[in-house]
Amino acid sequence: MKDFGDRVSEPLTVVPSMVTYIGYHAAQRPDDTAVLINGQAITYGAFYRDIARMVAALREFELGPGHTVGIEHRNLYLHWLLLMALEALGVLTLSFDQGEIPFIEETLVDMDLILCTPEQQLPDCKRVHALEQSWFDGVMTREPESPLQIAPISADMPLRIVKSSGTTGSLKQMVHSGQVFNFVLEQVQFRIGFTRGSRYILVGGFNIQAYQYHASACIRMGGICVIGDPENFAQSLSKSAITHATFLPHTLIDVLDRLPENYVKAPDLTIITIGAPVSVAVRDRVKRELANDLMETYATNETATICVINDNREGTVVPGVQAEVVDDDGNPVFGVPGLVRIKSRGCVTGYLNDAEATKRMFRDGWFYPGDVAIMKNPNSLTLIGRADDLLNVRGFKFAPQELEEQLLNTLPVNDLCLTVIADGDGIDQVFIVVVNKKSEFDDGTTKKIMSFLPDYFGDVIVVSVTKIPRTATGKIQRQLLKQTLQQQINARPAL
């Protein structure tokens, strides 16, 4: 089996398992609701017993510390039970969905067990168990393990394999140890402030790590997690008195666009966004139509949350994180753009199966996420964009994100992106790629676009497409889009 991280036989520092928190609430408040599914309440007592049943079932696979298990299943409650039970057994887990398989196949093949839906075909893996409904039904009727034996979690024990897509679309994988897992949960609690009165709606799968962390933090504090229906989100908000919800920006926009006309804004709802920046227009819509508060974070799976961003686009660095902006020589600078680098107790040490990316992005104890920002002081971080997103237009370095946001807020388009491609003479040509709301792109819209552009852009080509490629977290895959445009240009017949 591949070594997924250092292990110790006798843990010196023990991190509390999530299962112990659920056991505490089950002992203190067994009849209080822990999870709501389609209006059906699962109490803390029942939740703990279901975990104990799952532990008993998974022991039959002879799993324990040092083993690795991948999980693919869209039933969030059953997926969560599997994660909790495997954590109780001390097993390192990876949650994934079908679309990610080609990018993580090397990891899946090397894992000790894959638990997945029956229709999923993974022929090269060591051992695959199909999660048939009949199997789950049998688990839920068996006797819970009593007393429940929970494996100790040391600070450096590998606990979770998580993924970070970046902007290239190539999934990078890393290990969250017991220390990192606990650090992130403490950080989430500090930022969001879950209480026993909190009601968190879970609408995303656990293959995106933030959803597991946010739901776990709510349960850890004794709140209620509501497993929502993405197709009827507004109804779930009103019916279940939701206090917190987490969204990727593009899914948040979808929710806003589908709000019923008679929807009444929830008085105590906080929206937390992850994955990509939120435009001013979307932020305003959220506060006007959906919730009283929006919490935007700048975070990576490599370091956890770095800062919380206010309405003025300024980020405040969270406690426990050291952030710097440095020049090309690695010297900290203030008031001018530079590369971001991060240190924290939540920082991983590198990537699985990618020594080149590890060497490039983890240097001298710092993680370099590839972002460009300005720091006014050690507590203030204002993002400009990604270093690999900077456009070189005839010698001028240009960060496109602010202009893209302005155009999105002004034009009748659903999505928009800027990129630069050199023509046959090596002259930089600016392309503006749009996804139209209408079937046709009119001249008036093109003229409006031109009014926003700096003169040094020269002649600009506006291209209409059906979809702009983005990562699972909503970041534009600018290089992939550029490659696609270049192929189309090369395929055109010469005049």
**Residue 221: which pLDDT band, with cuts at 50, 70 and 90?**
very high
Per-residue pLDDT at 438: 66
Which range among 249-263, 281-295, 461-475 has the greatest average pLDDT?
A: 281-295
Range with lowest mean pLDDT among 11-15, 143-147, 167-171 = 167-171
Q: Is it the case that residue 303 has pLDDT exceeding 50?
A: yes
Cα–Cα distance list, 223 to 101, 150, 452 (Å)? 34, 23, 48
Domain boundaries, the chain: 14-228, 302-388, 390-491
Pick the residue with more confidence: 234 or 495? Answer: 234
Pair 6, 156: CB distance under 8 Å: yes
* Listed range (27-31, 125-129, 489-493) with the worst mean pLDDT: 489-493
Q: Which CATH architecture group holds 390-491?
A: 2-Layer Sandwich (3.30)
Per-residue pLDDT tens digits for 447-466? 788 888 887 787 888 888 88
Q: How far is CA 226 from each of CA 43, 474, 477, rounded to the nearest angstrom? A: 12, 24, 32
Task: Give yes or no on whether 14-228 and 390-491 have one common fold.
Answer: no
The architecture of the domain spanning 14-228 is 3-Layer(aba) Sandwich (3.40)
CA distance 379 to 319: 9
Q: Higher model confidence: residue 312 or residue 23?
A: 23
Q: What angle do CA 28, 31, 37 make, to 5 degrees?
A: 125
Per-residue pLDDT of 54-107, as tens digits, reads: 999 999 999 999 999 999 999 999 999 999 999 999 999 999 998 889 889 999
Name the pTM for this structure: 0.82
Report the C-alpha gap between 33 and 36 in whole angstroms: 7
| CA proximity to 200, closest of 27, 80, 30 | 80
Kind of pairing, strands 40-43 and 304-309?
Answer: unpaired
Confidence at residue 6, expressed as pLDDT on a 0 to 100 scale: 44
Residue 495 pLDDT: 44
Give the pLDDT score at 237.
81
DSSP line for 368-411: --SEEEEEEETTEEEEEEEGGG-EEETTEEE--HHHHHHHHHHS
- In angstroms, the CA 202 to CA 183 distance is 21
Burial of 104 (0-12, 13-18, 19+ CB in 10 A): buried
Phi, psi of 284 (to 5 degrees): -65, -40
Residue 471: pLDDT above 80? no
Query: For a pLDDT cut of 70, what percent of the chain falls above it?
Result: 91
Least confident of 131-135, 168-172, 269-273, 455-459: 168-172
Q: Residue 89 in 3-state DSSP?
A: coil
Instruction: Please give the CATH number for the structural domain made up of 302-388.
Output: 2.30.38.10
- Per-residue pLDDT of 200-220, as tens digits, reads 999 889 999 999 999 999 999
Q: What is the pLDDT of residue 390?
A: 72
Q: What is the pLDDT of residues 164-201, one digit of tens each?
A: 865 444 689 999 999 999 999 999 999 999 999 999 99
Q: What's the whole-number mean pLDDT along residues 145-163?
A: 95
